[in-house]
Amino acid sequence: MANAIGVVMTTRVVAGLVEEHRVHGGLKEFPEHLDATNGLIEIPSEKLCDILCDAIATLAAASDSPVKAAGVAMPGYLHQGVMLDSPNLPQLKGVRVCESLRAGLDRRGLALSLSVFNDADAVAAGIAASRGQMDRSIRVWTIGNGIGYGRYPWTEGPWEGGHMVVSLDPREKFCGCGGRGHLEGIMGHRAMRLRFLDMEPDEVFAAARRGDRRCAEFVELWHRALAAATASQIHLEGAGRFYFTGRDIQRLELPRLKQHLYEMVKMSPLQNYTVEIIPEDPSLAAIGAGVGALIASGC
């Protein structure tokens, strides 16, 4: 397989050269000294596109062999290269991302095949590629500032699983998109900070382990919400394997999740699902973006 560049933009931008379904030479961060307090959220969309193009140009220049394609993964609802909405990077809403990136690469003299992907879909593709499972269906939940739902092979549609409604309580209004009852409004890092103004999310989970009732009740809700979203996908798309990963994956207790799923999925043909935790690995999304770009280019 030809070489590609995979770029991932979430709370920061990381990129790597993808060769034979792995990152060659490790991931590099762009820019190197990003303000950790606000991350990318205060950077205008034009500057974000420049950062992405600089990452691609830097890695292309450093590659020992020709680079055929570049894939860029980012959070939000992408359709035909346009960011229709991105609650966690709102400055990107309405931006013709693919068009802007192509123009930036042209200015840098780079004639590469370019593709853009949702970041969770890129993680799913990265899992498939790194595990030699490109012939299988992969579904993955990514747990971090937001909650992503990724699928491989890619299928047309919004697939905004993090905004699935898992509660009818009108007080559940912490999702960044403004919707009520959403999975991300319960599980997302930003949403938890809004809910517990006096505690950080890690402190909430630590207090729950010490027996704090308020925190323990929330941690139970957190797990039930993820189980409800997963059970809904099982009922819609069928059983199979689900992966769970992301920056905050250490919060997930798999036995508790399995118990809730057992209570929610009772139709026997749908009970042959499996669930697996994958430790956070930023290279997965980069691999998925690079491999997806090569597939889209026909390489």
Instruction: Give me the chain's average pLDDT, please.
Output: 94
Can you tell me the distance from the alpha carbon of 34 to that of 12, in angstroms, rounded to the nearest whole number? 8
Least confident of 28-42, 225-239, 277-291: 28-42
* Alpha carbon distance, N-terminus to C-terminus of the chain: 7
Looking at domain 3-125+282-297, does it have CATH number 3.30.420.40?
yes
Please tell me whether the peptide bond between 87 and the residue prior to it is cis, using omega within 30 degrees of 0: no
Q: Is the pLDDT of residue 77 over 80?
A: yes
| Residue reference for tokens 């991350």 | 39
**How is the chain split into domains, by residue range?**
3-125+282-297, 127-277
Task: Please state the rounded mean pLDDT for residues 214-231.
Answer: 98
Q: Is the pLDDT of residue 238 over 70?
A: yes
Q: What is the pTM of this model?
A: 0.93
- Give residues with Cβ within 8 angstroms of 265, minimum separation 6: 231, 234, 235, 271, 273
Q: Is the pLDDT of residue 222 over 70?
A: yes
- Give residues with Cβ within 8 angstroms of 17, minimum separation 6: 3, 4, 5, 23, 24, 25, 59, 62, 63, 67, 290
Q: Is the pLDDT of residue 1 over 60?
A: no
Can you tell me the distance from the alpha carbon of 164 to that of 256, in angstroms, rounded to the nearest whole number? 20
CATH of domain 127-277: 3.30.420.40
Task: Please state the rounded mean pLDDT for residues 132-145.
Answer: 94
Task: Please state the rounded mean pLDDT for residues 32-50.
Answer: 82
Compute the residue count for the chain: 299
Least confident of 29-33, 45-49, 198-202, 253-257: 29-33
Strands 113-118 and 67-74: parallel
CB-based burial, 171-205: b 16+ in 10 Å, e otherwise: ebebbbbebebbbbbbbbbbbbeebbeebebeebb
* 61 pLDDT tier (thresholds 50, 70, 90): very high
* 21 pLDDT tier (thresholds 50, 70, 90): very high
- Give residues with Cβ within 8 angstroms of 218, minimum separation 6: 195, 196, 204, 208
Strands 3-9 and 113-118: unpaired
Query: What is the amino acid identity at position 240?
Result: G
pLDDT at 111: 93
pLDDT at 62: 92
Task: Please state the rounded mean pLDDT for residues 61-90.
Answer: 94
Q: Is the pLDDT of residue 35 over 70?
A: no
Per residue in 244-256, pLDDT (tens digit) is 999 999 999 999 9
Q: Answer with the residue of higher pLDDT: 2 or 117.
A: 117
pLDDT at 225: 98
Q: Do domains 3-125+282-297 and 127-277 have the same CATH topology?
A: yes
> pLDDT over 70 for what percent of the chain?
98
Q: Are 28 and 282 in contact (CB under 8 A)?
A: no
